[in-house]
């Protein structure tokens, strides 16, 4: 239980070689005679020797770790993003610290501390104040995931075209005229962009923007928004993401009402649930895993001192299912 691991020097002594040789054998580099290699291997296996990560990292001047900073970590959205991150980090042997700032009392200070333990960080838009990002970015490799109003060195994001298309679709094709935007743009760059696209789509048809109902981005928030949405006499609820949309849908169905009959509901992200529920959720598919993977790839490049394009925009795509009235 107590961690009484062996050090290189001990293994070296036991195998009757130098620490340099042990290192060479363990990492499989340099040239070592078969005989010596065998001796060392034996010692390593006998004592279950694994080099201390600290010594290794200190000598390499590299932590072999990076941090991903999210506002929260609950839900399929972040899970998928993390999936993408790990898909490139794991094969490259770098470990990932997942940080959910909503848990931290003093997130900013906390992050400066996290920065001491990693080679770089990928930060989700809307998680930390401008000043912190700048302070961080000044000293460490930083990549932003999603839009952020702040001057960030490198950012990876998805476009908003499909979302605008979605709103136009509801307005033009389904003839809806009383849409409510469910989500709070404040503090979320993602939602700010969506709200703007929502308004733009209305303006394009000479319509007034529709109302905005400020809620959080989790399923529970969608459930809690139901009463207000229903009371507002809207014909469609354009939710900021799928989780809110699914929560809202659940609440609406639970009241014995029908979707899209009594209320059209749409989301954004196309999480797994969205294609499974009935009615299927009309939404905007975003390549979340790819978003995480790309951010990680760029971050790693940045860490390695490579030149990195400042902005990468990934495509999103409108997915029409039953909840908007397209089929049932």
Partner DNA sequence: TTGAAAGCGGTACCAT
Partner DNA sequence: ATGGTACCGCTTTCAA
Residues that bind DNA (CB under 7 A): 5-9, 16-24, 26-27, 29-33, 35-37, 49-52, 54-56, 58-61
Closest to a second copy by CB, 171 vs 225, is 225
As a residue count, the chain comes to 328
Query: Which one of DNA, a second copy, none interacts with residue 27, CB within 5 to 8 A by kind?
Result: DNA
260 binds, among DNA, a second copy, none (CB under 5 to 8 A by kind): none
Residue 56 or residue 235: which is nearer to DNA going by CB?
A: 56
The least distance separating DNA from the CB of residue 168, rounded to whole angstroms, comes to: 55
Tell me the three state secondary structure of residue 203.
Answer: helix
**The two three-digit tokens of residue 83, written as one number:** 């999936």
In the bound state with DNA, the residue whose beta carbon lies nearer, of 41 and 74, is 41
Residue 135 and residue 249: Cα distance in Å, rounded? 42
Q: With respect to a second copy, which residue has the nearer C-beta, 21 or 323?
A: 323
Q: How far is the CB of 62 from DNA (least distance, A)?
A: 9
Tell which residue, 137, 154, 136, 132, has the closest CA to residue 145: 154
Round to whole Å and give the CA distance between 216 and 243.
10
Return the ∠ at Cα 314 (arms to 312 and 315), rounded to 5°: 150
Choose among 72, 65, 145, 61: nearest CA to 97: 65
Closest CB 40 distance from a second copy, rounded Å: 19
Q: Alpha helix (H) ranges present in the chain?
A: 8-15, 19-27, 34-46, 53-60, 76-89, 107-115, 130-139, 161-168, 189-204, 219-231, 242-254, 272-276, 288-303
Nearer to a second copy, 58 or 309 (CB): 58
Question: Residue 28 binds which one of a second copy, DNA, none, with CB within 5 to 8 A depending on kind?
Answer: none
- Shortest Cβ 3–a second copy spacing (Å): 6
Residue 126, binding choice from DNA, a second copy, none, Cβ under 5 to 8 Å by partner class: none
Whichever of 193 and 269 has its CB closer to a second copy, that residue is 269
Residue 209 touches which of a second copy, DNA, none (Cβ within 5-8 Å per kind): none
**24 is in the binding site of which of a second copy, DNA, none (Cβ under 5 to 8 A by kind)?**
DNA
Q: How far apart are CA 250 and CA 266, in angstroms?
A: 13
Cβ-Cβ contacts under 8 Å for 321 (sequence gap 6 or more): 274, 275, 279, 280, 281, 282, 283, 327
């Amino acid at each position: 239980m107590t961690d009484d691991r062996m050090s290189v020097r001990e293994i070296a002594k036991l195998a009757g070689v130098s620490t340099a040789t042990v290192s060479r054998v363990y990492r499989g580099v340099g040239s070592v005679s078969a005989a010596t290699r065998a001796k060392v291997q034996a010692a390593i296996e006998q004592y279950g020797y694994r080099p201390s990560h600290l010594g290794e990292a200190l000598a390499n001047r590299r932590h072999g770790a990076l941090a991903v900073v999210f506002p929260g970590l609950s839900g399929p959205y972040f899970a998928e993003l993390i999936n993408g991150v790990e898909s490139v980090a794991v094969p490259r042997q770098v470990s990932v610290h997942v940080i959910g700032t909503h848990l931290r009392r003093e997130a900013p200070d906390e992050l400066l501390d996290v920065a001491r333990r990693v080679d770089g960080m990928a930060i989700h838009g809307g998680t930390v104040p401008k000043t912190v990002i700048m302070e961080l970015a000044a000293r460490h490799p930083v990549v932003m995931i999603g839009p952020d109003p702040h001057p960030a060195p490198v950012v990876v994001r998805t476009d908003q075209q499909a979302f605008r298309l979605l709103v136009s679709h509801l307005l033009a094709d389904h003839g809806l005229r009383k849409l409510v935007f469910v989500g709070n743009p404040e503090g979320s760059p993602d939602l700010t962009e969506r709200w703007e696209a929502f308004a733009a789509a209305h303006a394009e048809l000479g319509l007034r923007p529709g109302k905005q109902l400020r809620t959080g981005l989790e399923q529970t928030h969608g459930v809690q928004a139901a009463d207000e949405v229903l009371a507002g006499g809207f014909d469609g609820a354009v939710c900021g993401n799928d989780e809110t949309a699914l929560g809202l849908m659940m609440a609406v169905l639970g009241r014995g009402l029908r979707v899209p009959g009594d209320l059209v509901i749409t989301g954004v992200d196309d999480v797994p649930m969205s294609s499974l529920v009935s009615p299927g959720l009309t939404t905007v598919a975003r390549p979340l895993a790819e978003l995480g993977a790309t951010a990680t790839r760029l971050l790693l490049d940045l860490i390695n001192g490579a030149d990195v394009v400042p902005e990468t925009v990934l495509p999103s795509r409108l997915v029409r299912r039953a909840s908007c009235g397209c089929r049932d």
